[in-house]
Structure 1
């Protein structure tokens, strides 16, 4: 949850971005859409009752303390409510 768990150089008010921007425009979202931790937690709580996470694999974790940016790749194996197991591959980009 807290970026401080990854690096003491990144502040808790970091924003999360969805990339590539072309994906966002393809779903009629603003290409610079970003959200903070409170928004992420509220959305997760709303969806958690429908998702059973089996495993999470975090790789390619990079933190640049000078620019206060970071990135990581996560692969979630989830069991969706009344559905089969799915794999969700996400790239995270954070900036403070």
Structure 2
């Protein structure tokens, strides 16, 4: 049995360059490239917007935390003032009783 082989060897396939390609194919390629570029730009814009939103959210959280801290500090100050007033009253009472006992 003999193997079937082509009588002439295969010639290497030559690819067409851009200059020899048909013009409609060139247009299609250009359109695809433009679409890719547009998509990439849109993705970049989306990423930037998301980053900006995240930054805004972080800033808001920080502001809220600062406000909470301020409120807590005010409460502490009020409590301290109340304690001081109570101590003063107690001292006064004690002093008056001491005077009487003396």
Q: Which has the higher contact order (CA 8 A, sep 6+)?
A: 1
- Name which one, 1 or 2, has greater alpha-carbon Rg: 2
Structure number with the higher strand fraction is 1
Q: TM-score w.r.t. structure 2 length? A: 0.18
Structure number with the higher helix fraction is 2
